[in-house]
Structure formats: C-alpha cells, structure tokens
Chain A
Amino acid sequence: MPAVAGVLGGCRVESSATGTFAPKTLTPAQNDLVATLGELIIPETDTPGARAARVNEFIDRMLTDWYAADDREQFLAGLATVDPKAQEVAGKPFMDLSADEQNQVLSAMEEEAAAWRTALQEGNGDPANPPFFNLIKQMTLFGYYTSEVGAAQELRVMPMGRYDGAVPYAEIGRAWS
C-alpha cells in the first residue's frame, strides 16, 4: 500500500479517538433511527451487521457532502415517515417498538416499495420519488458491503496473484465483494 492514504481531498477521520460519532446532517435521534433501520436490513448474524460497520456514519457523510439538496431533503422527508408508519402499524414511535414490531413496520414499508415498483412497470409510477424503503436499503447495502466488515468479513476480498476462471464454487463458498 502506498503510504499516502488521506492525500485525496476531503479525507476525514472516521470518528473520534473515543469512538463517538457526531453526525453533521442527521440529528442524534435521526442518527439512531438510521442505525436501527440499517441493523434491521443487515443484522448481526455470525458476522457483524450494519451498526458495527458504522453504516449510519457513512450515510451521514453522504447526506452532508455528496447528496444534492433535493436528494438530501427527499431522504430526510422519507425518514420522517417512519414514525407515522410505526404508529399506524404498531401504535408507537419506531424506536419504542420491540424488534419484532420494528420488523413488521419495515415489512409494511417494503410492501409499499413493491407496489411502487409494480406501478412503475405498469407505466404509472413516479420514478423520481422512490419509497423511503428503497433509499435506506440501497444506502445500507452500499455502506455495508463497501465497509471492511461487509467486504472482508461477511464477503471475501478478491485475492491477488492468480486468475482461474473455472474454480468449483464449493472451494470458495462466498461471493467476492
């Protein structure tokens, strides 16, 4: 590795030395919600999940630096629909629900996403306004599988040194990240 990591413009420290994280765009409550949703989408199993991979920190960075204002507003507006949906499905704010109830809320959100996709295929959906489930799932998967946890612990980093185009999958047993 060249000893120049961080030379690229804008490179910042992931988090403070104490491991705490201060979101720049998300409020502390929104940050907790994003981290919780992420962990529901990619939970800890025999490998760490989205929370351990700090996907919420990645999402906050993207919202702060990368997203256009319209897209940022769209994400935050979508995030604001999670509590009303939780009230509708389970009668409480999302963070006050049990894990099972939270999963039920997420299932309801996914059904809306499926309906939106069907509508698109039938030519009467709005491609510019995807349901929030799509946004949070896409960002969570991207943030997780490009993290060291997701790319190297959950999946496998492609090794260097040789090419073999006909290896039995059983010898590898895991997708390359």
Chain B
Amino acid sequence: MVKKNVLVAQSLEAYDAIVVGSGISGGYAAKELCEKGLKTLVLERGRPLAHGADYITEHKNPWEFTYRGLGDRKRFEEDYYVQRRTYAFGEHTEHFFHKDTDSPYIEVKPFTWIRGGRVGGRSLLWGRQCYRWSEMDFNANAADGIEIDWPIRYADIAPWYDYVEPFVGISGQAEGVENCPDGRFLPPMPLNHVEQVVKEGIEKTFPERTMTIGRVAVLTQPHNGRAPCHYCGICHRGCTPGAYFSSLSATLPAAEATGNLTLRANSVVHSVIYDEAQGRATGVRVVDAETKEMIEFKGKVVFLCASAIATAHIMLNSTSNRFPNGLANDSGALGHYLMDHHFQTGASGEMPGYEDRYYVGNRPNGIYIPRFRNVSAATKRSDYLRGFGYQGSADRASWGRPVDGFGADLKHALRDPGPWTMRLHAFGESLPRYENFVELDAEQVDQYGIPLLRISCDWGENERAMRRDMGESAAEMLEAAGAKNVTIFNGFNPGGYGAEPGLGIHEMGTARMGRDPATSVLNAHNQCHSLPNVFVTDGACMTSSACQNPSITYMALTARAADYAVEELKKMNI
C-alpha cells in the first residue's frame, strides 16, 4: 500500500525528484521516476486516501444514503459551491473532492474549476475515456496559423502512447480512423442492441463517419494484477478491484513497489524555490494543510503535475529576482491560453421498435464518434476551425421518466422500462487565446498565505459557431439512424452557467510547450526553457486542445519527459 502522510523533517532529506500532485500526471511521473531509480517525493495537497478501505460508498444502495444520493444540499451549497456543478459530485463522491471554502478562487467570468481533494486527485473521478491525438492535432496551430506551433509531432509521442497504454489497460476497438489513431487495446466492451442499430444507420448515411465503442481505461480482462470490470457502473465511487485506472489502483502502487517513493499528503505547495546563485530550482516550499507550518523540500528535479490551473498558480507564485513574473516566465505566456473542451450540447431521440430488448449490467462506457469536420478538403467548414467528437449511449429510462396518473395503474406502468433513447453529447476543441488566463489577486490570500487566483475565461466566436454544428449534426445523425422526436440540447448560457469553461474538466494550456522561448514556457520535452530542472507534464503544457479527452496524452507526455529528465540527470546536464 501507499505510505500515508510520511512526516519528513524540514529541509533535511534531499530527494532526487519532487513531483507536485498525485493525479493522472503526478502518479505517472512518480511511477516512471521511481522505476528509474530516483528517490522521489510526491506532494499532494489533499488528504490521504487508502485504496479500497476509503471507498466508503462503493456499491452502497440508494436507500443506504441519508438523502438517497441527493446529498446534504445546504452543506453542499456552503462548502462545495463550485464542485457541486459537476455531474461527478454528490452524496456518493463528496469525500473525494476539494472543499471550495478551503481555498477559493475568483471567477472574473463564470469558470468552474473542479478539483480533487484526496491522494489520487481527479484520477479517482475521471471519465476514463482515452483517445490518442493524431498528426492533424499536433499540426493544427501551424496549419491554421493560430498562435504557436507544437514543438512535437505524432511520431514523437506515438511510442509513448505505445508505452503507457499497456500499463493503463484500455479497452477499445481498432477502427483505422486516421485522425483518431488506434492504440494498444484490451478487448472492447460491446455496443448494446440499439447502439448497434444507430451505428449502422449513421455509417450507411455518412460513410466517412465512424461510431465505435468508447476507448476506456476500464479492464475487460485481468491485467497487471488488476481484476476486470464487474459492471457495477459507478466507477467514481472508487473500485477496490482496480478495474479502472487511477493513481491509487495503478501508478502509485507501482512507484511504491520500487522502495523509492515517499508520498506526503496534506502538502499544499506554495512555490518552487529558485536559487539565484545556482541558477536552478532547488526544491519546493510546502504549507502543511493541518499545521500550517511552512516546510522546504529539496530535490534535484521538480515535476509540476498539479493540474493546469494549480500548476500555473504555483509558478505564478514562485517569484525571484530572475523570475519576477513567475517561474520560467520570460515569455509572459504563463497563465495564459487557458483552454477546455466545450460541451453540454448535442441531441437525443427515441428509438422505437426495440422494446423487446434490454440490457444487463451497468457498462461504465458509451460510444464514440471521432471528429469528422475539417479533417479533409471535403469536410472543410467555412464557419469555424477544428472540430468535435461525440460520446453518448442508448438506454431505457426507468421510474424517473414522466408517466401520467397515480395508483396501481401508474405503479404497473413503471414496472416496464421506457422507450429506448439514444443521446449524442459533443465535445469540441477550443482555441488558445491570450485573453483567457489566470493571474494572482493583488490583495487576497487563502488560509495558507497563498494569493487567490483570478480566472478569466470565456468561449470565443469559433467555439460558439462550432456549437451550432455540434447540435445540428447530432440531430442529423440520429434522424438518419431512425430516431424519432429528436431534440437538440444546448446548455450554453452566455455570461452564465450551464456550459461555462472549466465544466469540461479538461483545462489546459497555461504553461504551453513551444519551439520559441519568447512565446512559450516549455520546450519539446516539457522542460522549462529557462529552468532546465523543472518539468511541467499536466494539462498546463498543451499548446492546443484538440477535441479528444486529454488524460492519456498527459500520461504519454509525462513518461516521455521523465525518460528525458533522467537521461539529462545522468549526463549531469541538469
């Protein structure tokens, strides 16, 4: 098991590596660095969490919850006023989330920052969907003349996707779609009966489009000592058999097994220590969340994996004579170019004629339709750049559907499930824009003495134009597949909540990679241009956002950067 909150004496022990954050990226960094022999300290601001023992709601029935899953509304509104906006938060999962009152941020414009509150971070709560980026994605900024070019291409990262996927365990179906490359998959989960019908309908009408089962970090067979999915379907409550990939089920145990890991929870990183004389980072300053004591930890190399916004927060708060505007921020790009995927639009429709079919098991996965816009000359749009993919599923509503009446007739009617409904939810790429940014508040600080963060981010014209097509194309495909009563939904409420940035929980871009130190923070190896022993491998590093769920790309980039960092350490270059 992972060590819990090992107390480390102040400034005494020097580590080879310090990893900030224990989520998807930090967990992977810890595994790679530990396996390569580095004595590694992982700092997590959240509280400790024991895999299994602390999954206190796993498999609980609705009647075993005080509020039947609705949660303690009044307390949620007081303590979790941001976290409660996401679907993943509730009575089943509240203990995994960051308490908003613990360290607030300022929404200059509506922005939902969803944060983990325990060891493992958001890897406990993620949607588990894993799609490789393609050459088209890494070439996108250069091709469109938007902002700066990525310093890497698909060929640079493909071997690292190959490397991480077999460890993670991703079930999926190879489809040969060039802009959504196939990976190293475990056997796919099946489509259900109506999803198969919809797939055939869409692909017949739109031969250039593909609908496939989701590529998901949930095991369909025993894998690396983890058990396959038992289809309870409520992954985000925690999974004791480890069927879904999280830092707790996979990377932290692997790191722990090397004997090189020290994991310290309740460790709020205040800043990275820059030594002016040596011209390098020498460690990090931590505020203990329980004692409020400030402690310094020394390390030869620092990996910032705290999530895009938290990493930017730490770097902006790491000032020195050399870096008065934030760590490694010679370019002024730090904190800017914040992106997320915009969603909460798509369509749904009824699929009549299959009432004699049902399903057994809660499959923690849905379908995926890879991007089909702006992927070729024939699919070029005049109204927006880039594109979107769809996730979704078909199911039959149960007692929650509207049925008139009362009494025995109503009770009897609700014994049978309702009609099949197919839903397509679009996830769209957003463009990097300087005016979407985070900065430190000049006056207010949190209980740890860290300046509050101000977040200013909004969807631009390109995203707004794309959203119209995201809804209309979903409706068009559902109708082609035979759906009735097709309805387009769109949660976007300009200036308000419903589809505001951040809600996609794919925030990225705040310390971007690039070729030119004048316009980017990181080089092609996720290494700070001007501070070679500091690496950033979470979403902050992303130069564009693509439309695919990003976690598997963070893992591949992290493994690649860790390999590079260790080689550089060996060569005494850093």
| A residues in contact (CB < 8 Å) with B | 1-2, 4-5, 7-12, 40-43, 45, 49, 58, 61-62, 65-66, 68, 103, 106, 110, 114, 137, 141-143, 145-148, 150-152, 154-155, 157-170, 172, 174-177
Complex CA distance for A41 and B406, rounded to whole angstroms = 5
Complex CA distance for A123 and B363, rounded to whole angstroms = 40
Given contact pairs A62-B67, A65-B67, A161-B231, A167 touches B406 in the complex (Cβ within 8 A): no
A162 engages B192 (CB within 8 Å): no
A42 engages B410 (CB within 8 Å): yes
Inter-chain contacts of A147 with B (CB < 8 A):
63
B64 engages A5 (CB within 8 Å): yes
B356 engages A2 (CB within 8 Å): no
B232 engages A160 (CB within 8 Å): yes
11 sample A-B contacts, Cβ–Cβ < 8 Å, listed by A number: A9-B72, A42-B406, A43-B411, A141-B399, A151-B61, A154-B415, A162-B231, A164-B190, A165-B195, A168-B358, A169-B416
Inter-chain contacts of B195 with A (CB < 8 A):
165
Inter-chain contacts of A2 with B (CB < 8 A):
53, 55-56, 58
B357 engages A167 (CB within 8 Å): yes
B72 engages A10 (CB within 8 Å): yes
Q: Which of B62, B69, B359, B405 is in CB contact (< 8 Å) with A164?
A: B359
Given contact pairs A7-B56, A40-B407, A176-B398, A155 touches B359 in the complex (Cβ within 8 A): no
Inter-chain contacts of A168 with B (CB < 8 A):
356-358
Complex CA distance for A55 and B431, rounded to whole angstroms = 50
**Residue B91 CB within 8 A of the other chain:** yes
A145 engages B399 (CB within 8 Å): yes
Complex CA distance for A13 and B66, rounded to whole angstroms = 9
A165 engages B190 (CB within 8 Å): yes
Inter-chain contacts of B61 with A (CB < 8 A):
148, 151-152, 157
B72 engages A45 (CB within 8 Å): no
Output the nearest chain A residue to B359 by Cβ-Cβ distance.
A165
User: Least Cβ distance of B192 to chain A in Å?
Assistant: 3
Inter-chain contacts of B189 with A (CB < 8 A):
163
Bits for B329-360, please: 1 = Cβ < 8 Å to A, else 0: 00000000000000000000000000111111
Complex CA distance for A103 and B408, rounded to whole angstroms = 11
User: Least Cβ distance of A66 to chain B in Å?
Assistant: 5
Most buried by A among B196, B398, B416: B398
**Residue B570 CB within 8 A of the other chain:** no
Inter-chain contacts of B58 with A (CB < 8 A):
2
Given contact pairs A155-B399, A160-B231, A166 touches B359 in the complex (Cβ within 8 A): yes
B62 engages A146 (CB within 8 Å): yes
B407 engages A41 (CB within 8 Å): yes
B360 engages A158 (CB within 8 Å): yes
Given contact pairs A45-B411, A110-B406, A154-B415, A167 touches B358 in the complex (Cβ within 8 A): yes
Further pairs besides A151-B63, A169-B417: 11, Cβ < 8 Å: A8-B65, A8-B95, A9-B75, A58-B68, A65-B74, A110-B406, A141-B400, A150-B399, A160-B59, A163-B359, A169-B358
Please list the 4 inter-chain residue pairs (A to B) with the smallest Cβ-Cβ separation, ordered nearest first.
Answer: A165-B192, A163-B361, A166-B193, A146-B62
Inter-chain contacts of A176 with B (CB < 8 A):
398, 417
Most buried by B among A137, A148, A176: A176
A167 engages B399 (CB within 8 Å): no
Complex CA distance for A9 and B195, rounded to whole angstroms = 40
B231 engages A155 (CB within 8 Å): no
Complex CA distance for A146 and B189, rounded to whole angstroms = 29
Inter-chain contacts of A155 with B (CB < 8 A):
398-399, 414-415
**Residue B1 CB within 8 A of the other chain:** no
B416 engages A175 (CB within 8 Å): yes
Size of B's binding interface in residues, CB under 8 A:
60
A146 engages B192 (CB within 8 Å): no
Complex CA distance for A143 and B68, rounded to whole angstroms = 8
Most buried by A among B91, B195, B405: B405
**Residue B233 CB within 8 A of the other chain:** yes
Inter-chain contacts of A159 with B (CB < 8 A):
360-361
B66 engages A162 (CB within 8 Å): no
Given contact pairs A137-B406, A175-B414, A166 touches B192 in the complex (Cβ within 8 A): yes
A106 engages B230 (CB within 8 Å): no
Complex CA distance for A141 and B60, rounded to whole angstroms = 20
Complex CA distance for A109 and B122, rounded to whole angstroms = 47
Complex CA distance for A163 and B417, rounded to whole angstroms = 18
Inter-chain contacts of B396 with A (CB < 8 A):
175
Inter-chain contacts of B64 with A (CB < 8 A):
5
B73 engages A163 (CB within 8 Å): no
Inter-chain contacts of B55 with A (CB < 8 A):
2
Complex CA distance for A42 and B363, rounded to whole angstroms = 30
User: Least Cβ distance of B235 to chain A in Å?
Assistant: 13
B62 engages A40 (CB within 8 Å): no
**Residue B362 CB within 8 A of the other chain:** yes
Given contact pairs A2-B55, A110-B405, A163-B189, A154 touches B411 in the complex (Cβ within 8 A): yes
**Residue B177 CB within 8 A of the other chain:** no
User: Least Cβ distance of A166 to chain B in Å?
Assistant: 4
Given contact pairs A8-B66, A66-B70, A165-B195, A172 touches B361 in the complex (Cβ within 8 A): no
Output the nearest chain A residue to B67 by Cβ-Cβ distance.
A66
Most buried by A among B61, B95, B193: B61
Q: Which of B66, B231, B398 is in CB contact (< 8 Å) with A163?
A: B231
**Residue B571 CB within 8 A of the other chain:** no
Complex CA distance for A1 and B63, rounded to whole angstroms = 14
B399 engages A177 (CB within 8 Å): yes
Inter-chain contacts of B414 with A (CB < 8 A):
141, 145, 155, 175
Output the nearest chain A residue to B70 by Cβ-Cβ distance.
A66
**Residue B174 CB within 8 A of the other chain:** no
Inter-chain contacts of B158 with A (CB < 8 A):
none
User: Least Cβ distance of B405 to chain A in Å?
Assistant: 7
Complex CA distance for A41 and B399, rounded to whole angstroms = 13
User: Least Cβ distance of A140 to chain B in Å?
Assistant: 9
A169 engages B357 (CB within 8 Å): yes
Inter-chain contacts of B190 with A (CB < 8 A):
163-166
Inter-chain contacts of A1 with B (CB < 8 A):
59-60
**Residue B191 CB within 8 A of the other chain:** yes
User: Least Cβ distance of A55 to chain B in Å?
Assistant: 11
Given contact pairs A2-B53, A172-B358, A43 touches B231 in the complex (Cβ within 8 A): no
A175 engages B359 (CB within 8 Å): no
User: Least Cβ distance of B548 to chain A in Å?
Assistant: 24
Q: Which of B57, B63, B229, B230 is in CB contact (< 8 Å) with A146?
A: B63
Complex CA distance for A41 and B413, rounded to whole angstroms = 13
Output the nearest chain A residue to B220 by Cβ-Cβ distance.
A163
